[in-house]
Amino acid sequence: MNRWLTVAAIAVALTAGLAAQSEAALKQYFEGRKVVVKINLPATKDGADVDVFPTGRVQMDYKSYGNRLKTFGVALRDGDSVLVTLLKVKKNQIEFQLGGGGYGTAGDDTDTSVHFTPASKSTREQDLEKQLDTEKDPKRARVIKDELDTLRWQRERDDDRRRHQAEAEAAVRAERIQENRLAGGSRFNLYYGDRLAPDDLKPERIVAALSQFLSFPWLEEPAAPEAASAAPSAGPAPAPPADPVQSLRKGLTRADVEALLGSPRSMNETTEGGLKLLHCVYEKGENRVEAVFTEDVLIRYTISSR
């Protein structure tokens, strides 16, 4: 029995050692390099959660992703170039942190509350209340009540003033935290079921899992040089105008899509698996775009000719 426990302990130690070595290799490969984001990323340490399956299929929970964008704002926008600041390997998860990894990690101030406690009754106010309860003379009772009302009014006035100060301080704190949040980067949390396999820790596997959300400029092959023209050049040719339809990407907000394509020609709502979907049809030039949003985030689209 002890022999089997020893063998199991050795196996666990070897597995942990392999994971540590793989994490070190991944850190060396990714950290300090820049990537370009293809979707807006929320300003939170929860980032964009992505499920990665053994078959290579990648899936994002777009409803949660859209809620984070609405709740925390956008830290990184589609097209932003950002540094990979940390890669961390866990039992069944890989954290791929960008520009600081998102706000809300250890040491980040997320408390927007400013506590306010109303003042207690003064000794004089309590004494007057007791006197008023036992006073039989109406004139004397009226004098006591007037003084008691004045003390209460002063106490409540001071409470209102301090309450408004606390609310103003809370608003300033919330604004400062939001500014810090928007500058704190974001992250991808890659989940691999029950446990990471050794092959999951290969750089090319991580690149493949994130390729629909990020581009890796250092992996792109340089374009082949064009043949020199025999005719004298009159200067660089102007770049062709960008096609707004070709700029569509999953993860864009509805506002981003309408900035590219204009207002939709038609809209209707459906429900799939408890998820509310908004179907919009856009017409741009010779193209017809059918787009599907959830929580105002683009999750799929098709392009056809008009």
Residue 75 shares a structural domain with residue 90: yes
Residue 42 shares a structural domain with residue 88: yes
- Residue 195 banded pLDDT, cuts 50, 70, 90: confident
- Domain boundary among the residues 219, 235, 267 is at 219
Asked if 182 and 148 touch (Cβ cutoff 8 Å), the reply is no
Mean pLDDT of 212-239: 61
- Residue 95 banded pLDDT, cuts 50, 70, 90: very high
CA distance 145 to 134: 12
Residue 59 is given by DSSP the state E
Residue 78's closest CA among 303, 248, 216, 217?
Answer: 248
Sheet holding 287-294, edge to edge: 266-272, 275-284, 287-294, 297-305
Residue 99 shares a structural domain with residue 208: yes
127: phi then psi, degrees, rounded to nearest 5: -65, -40
CATH number, position 255: 3.30.1450.10
In a domain, 266, yes or no: yes
Specify the 3-state DSSP secondary structure of 112: coil
Residue 10 shares a structural domain with residue 97: yes
- Residue 233 banded pLDDT, cuts 50, 70, 90: very low
Q: Terminal CA-to-CA distance of the chain, rounded, Å?
A: 73
Residue 89 shares a structural domain with residue 207: yes
Asked if 254 and 69 touch (Cβ cutoff 8 Å), the reply is no
In a domain, 55, yes or no: yes
Mean pLDDT of 137-153: 92
Residue 10 shares a structural domain with residue 70: yes
Specify the pTM: 0.55
In a domain, 34, yes or no: yes
In a domain, 108, yes or no: no
Strands 74-76 and 81-89: unpaired
Asked if 306 and 283 touch (Cβ cutoff 8 Å), the reply is yes
Residue 210 shares a structural domain with residue 261: no
Identify the weakest region by mean pLDDT among 5-19, 131-145, 191-205. 5-19
Residue 135 shares a structural domain with residue 64: no
Task: Provide the domain count of the chain.
Answer: 3
Residue 23 shares a structural domain with residue 133: no
Q: Provide the token pair at 171.
A: 């608003």
Highest-pLDDT range among 17-31, 117-131, 244-258:
117-131
Mean pLDDT of 241-266: 83
Highest-pLDDT range among 235-239, 264-268, 273-277:
264-268
Residue 7 shares a structural domain with residue 99: yes
- Residue 179 banded pLDDT, cuts 50, 70, 90: low
pLDDT at 46: 85
Residue 128 shares a structural domain with residue 57: no
- The answer to whether the Cα torsion of 168, 170, 176, 178 is positive or negative is negative
Mean pLDDT of 171-189: 73
What does the angle CA 238 – CA 244 – CA 248 come to, to the nearest 5 degrees?
Answer: 130
Exposure of 198 by Cβ count < 10 A (0-12 exposed, 13-18 middle, 19+ buried)? exposed
pLDDT at 16: 47
Q: What is the pLDDT of residues 71-88, one digit of tens each?
A: 888 989 999 999 999 999
In a domain, 225, yes or no: no
Q: Which domain covers residue 263, as residue numbers? A: 248-305
pLDDT at 55: 73
pLDDT at 285: 87
Residue 45 shares a structural domain with residue 88: yes
In a domain, 234, yes or no: no
In a domain, 65, yes or no: yes
Given a cut of 80, is residue 108 above it in pLDDT?
no
Write out the H or E segment, with its range, that includes residue 189. Answer: strand 186-191
